[in-house]
Chain A
Amino acid sequence: MNILEHVGIGNYITLSALLFCIGAFGLLYRRNAIIMFMSIEIMLNAVNLLLVAFSSYHEDPSGQVFVFFTMAVAAAEVAVGLAILVSVFRNIGNIDIDNLKNLKG
């Protein structure tokens, strides 16, 4: 009754890769910082999916434990990132990342 016997690991790899790729695309394509955060979340989730797939493949719980930690880190990152974004919004008025160019070389 295991999904991997029916579907095979290759499909999961493809699915995860495509999801990651969509997340990367969204990161590069949009100017709105919140949408970029969402794209990052998509990328993280792609990795989580692959981890769980391989955890099932090797019958090792370590993969799922790693997913827990990834989720914890993602949550922390979103909290702090959004706090920074709110600060930026208070100073500039919009969150267009193309305006944040003051650290020029």
Chain B
Amino acid sequence: MNTTILLLLFAPLVGFLINTCFGKSLGKTISGVLGTTAIVVSFLCAICLFSQINANGKSFTFHLADWFSIGNIKINFSFLFDQLSVLWLLFVTGIGSLIHLYSISYMHEDENMHKFFSYLNLFVFFMIALVAGSNLLIMFIGWEGVGLCSYLLIGFWYKNQDYNDAAKKAFIMNRIGDLGFLIGIFILGFHFQTLEFLEIKALLGKDVITPSLLAIAALCLFIGACGKSAQLPLATWLPDAMAGPTPVSALIHAATMVTAGIFMITRMNFLFDLTPEIQNVIAIVGAITAIVAASIGLVQNDIKKVLAYSTVSQLGLMFLALGLGAYEVAVFHVITHAFFKACLFLGSGSVIHALHGEQDMRNMGGLRKVMPITFWTMMISTLAISGIFPFSGFWSKDEILMTAFHSNIPLWVVGSIASIMTAFYMFRLMYLTFFNDFRGTEEQKHHLHESPALITIPLVILATLAAIGGAISLPGHSWLNHYLAPLFAHKSHEAHTLGTTEYTLMAVATIGALLGIAIAYSKYLKKKEIPIADSEVQGLHKVLSSKYYLDEIYMVTIVKPIYMISSFAKKYVEKFISKAVIGIGGATYALSIKGKKIQNGNIGVYLFAFIFGMVGFLVYVFIIRDVK
């Protein structure tokens, strides 16, 4: 058992170290295979742990080493393996290994391929630490680590300054969220004198803590989740993060890192259950993010940006579920979303690869006949994300909407509109990319071909999972809810027994999705419309495609004042400080020049000094000291 856990934890780290130190000399293929093997090993260990926990339902803590203790607080390197963390580990390492496999082929022409794999391995290591940590501090280490790896990977093609700026933006926005997270940790640690999850859970059961303090802690933790999972107002980094290579977008910004916020809130569900007003805030923020991001995604022309806004929107739906207290539903949607979003991103990577770097959908088209595997896998995933029966997205999205309907009707409306928009723009993507005639250059047309096996195999696997993944939580017979039941306080309902309301809601959702698909069909397939060039957009279209001017607002209200402060500091404060420091040196120098005059080389003066010194000494020793 111990070896399994140690392998799980450290195989990615070993992969990182070997690839960093020896990657260049190992050659591209070997470093890629090495990186993939490390994650596959972790995946196998995760399967072992999962089967064990599934069998006997008991969670356990693994103590690696002591760390430090301050006063009463004792913090160790220990890991908690319960139902939630093992489930997360499964899909993180599983999808991670598929993406590593994909990257061996995708990044093959890049000269820094070994660096890519070492960063990916490091990322998986930190993600495992985040998920498996048994106290808030280990989780925070993983939190920071995945933020760091996200920065490294977004700016992987560092020669382009725009990509570096995007990486900086991602890191800084993450940091703002991390500040909230830290403050939440401080409040909890100070009050409970411990940071272990199980101990806080026990203490919250009997402790009487002022509700306002608890609410502040919960709000701060939620701010951290906003930063990591790209909710408004910290959402603008995710679309810019598409500057990184496509496997990075698939792994980090679709399936794993951005789900860390949801994981953290699910982990601390006992805390959030006690603060209903913060849960309200979470639900509202999630719903608003969902609809705003979906509306922006309607008019995007870059294939990856569409998927990015779709990710933000789906994350908003997950937060909506969390805010309504339905943690299992959110976890279900995380899993299904991981499957179909990763498949969509990898598919788009395959398209970009075939077109040698072209990402604008206006220059694509008609790829259906040339790249059948990519087309069919992406189609399955698009049907899943739009919520069409019987794909996985249908079940998870409907759960969310049903929960919203039972708790809070306005939120249900917002969520449904976001889902309709999702169906529309996803099918818009499919029609523009795969149907009608090819709109690119002649040269690209000649080179069109299906991607190699290493790229298509992960696509097929993920599409299969996206198709059948709904089976883990069917209404009336939810394995997932049973599995996660020990973690949550409330009685886990059997995922909505199917009555008339539920059937009606399902029908409404399906009709809405079909409506969205029909609009897209008529616009882009029948009438063969192509989105207009960037310079010709006007009106509402312009507002949407400028992302509601959110970036510009941030620039004016936050970034520019900070620049002004820093340029003021540079002009005046720094000059002043450097003058003061150099002034000290100058003063010492002037003093020493004056002091130099004592040594004038004149022996007579020196003799005087002798005599005076001796007189002084005698006076002190014999007269001053002896005066009784």
Contact = CB atoms under 8 A, between A and B. Distances in A.
A104 B598 CA distance: 9
Interface of B (DSSP majority class):
helix
B604 A28 contact: yes
Nearest to B595: A105
A5 interface: no
B498 interface: no
A105 B599 contact: yes
Interface in B339-367: none
A97 B601 CA distance: 10
B581 interface: no
Interface size class of chain B, counting residues whose CB lies under 8 Å from the partner chain: 10 to 19
B608 interface: yes
A18 to B, nearest CB: 15
B600 A28 contact: no
Given A24-B611, A28-B611, A105 B604 contact: no
Contact of B599 (A31, A97, A98, A104): A104
Interface string A78-105: 0000000000000000000110111111
A98 B602 CA distance: 6
Interface string B586-612: 000000000011111111100110010
Contact of A102 (B597, B601, B611): B601
A22 to B, nearest CB: 13
A104 B597 CA distance: 8
Contacts of A51: none
Interface in B504-560: none
A24 B610 CA distance: 10
Nearest to B597: A105
A54 B239 CA distance: 100
Contact of B596 (A27, A102, A105): A105
Nearest to A102: B601
A28 B607 CA distance: 7
Contacts of A98: 602-604
Contact of A101 (B598, B600, B608, B611): B600
Contacts of B600: 101, 104-105
A101 B605 CA distance: 11
A100 to B, nearest CB: 6
Interface string B567-588: 0000000000000000000000
B596 to A, nearest CB: 4
A89 to B, nearest CB: 16
Contacts of B596: 105
A102 B601 CA distance: 6
A100 B607 contact: no
Nearest to B611: A24
A100 B611 contact: no
B601 A101 contact: yes
Contact of A27 (B597, B599, B602, B607): B607
Nearest to A103: B601
A77 B598 CA distance: 27
Contact of B598 (A27, A28, A31, A105): A105
A100 B600 CA distance: 11
Nearest to A31: B604
A16 to B, nearest CB: 14
A44 B604 CA distance: 19
A47 to B, nearest CB: 13
A94 to B, nearest CB: 14
A21 B131 CA distance: 90
A6 B190 CA distance: 89
Given A104-B599, A105-B596, A105-B597, A97 B611 contact: no
Contact of B601 (A27, A28, A31, A105): A105
Contacts of B599: 103-105
B598 A97 contact: no
Contacts of A28: 604, 607-608, 611
Contacts of A31: 604
Contacts of B598: 105
A105 B603 CA distance: 13
B615 to A, nearest CB: 10
A6 B603 CA distance: 43
Contacts of B608: 28
A100 B601 CA distance: 7
Interface in B195-250: none
B623 to A, nearest CB: 14
A104 B607 CA distance: 15
Nearest to A25: B611
A82 to B, nearest CB: 16
A24 B612 CA distance: 11
B597 A97 contact: no
Nearest to B596: A105
A104 B601 CA distance: 4
Question: Which among A27, A98, A102, A105 has the highest number of chain B CB atoms within 10 Å?
Answer: A105
B291 to A, nearest CB: 82
A30 to B, nearest CB: 10
Interface in A24-57: 24, 27-28, 31
A31 B602 CA distance: 11
A101 B602 contact: yes
Nearest to A29: B604
Nearest to B593: A105
Contacts of A97: 603-604
Question: Which among B596, B604, B607 has the highest number of chain A CB atoms within 10 Å?
Answer: B604
Nearest to B599: A105
Contacts of A101: 600-602
Contacts of B607: 27-28
Contacts of A27: 607, 611
B62 to A, nearest CB: 71
A103 B600 CA distance: 7
A45 to B, nearest CB: 18
Interface of A: 24, 27-28, 31, 97-98, 100-105
25 contacts: A24-B611, A27-B607, A27-B611, A28-B604, A28-B607, A28-B608, A31-B604, A97-B603, A97-B604, A98-B602, A98-B603, A100-B601, A100-B603, A101-B600, A101-B601, A103-B599, A103-B601, A104-B600, A104-B601, A105-B596, A105-B597, A105-B598, A105-B599, A105-B600, A105-B601
Interface of B: 596-604, 607-608, 611
Given A28-B611, A31-B604, A97-B604, 7 more contacts: A24-B611, A28-B607, A97-B603, A98-B603, A102-B601, A103-B599, A105-B601
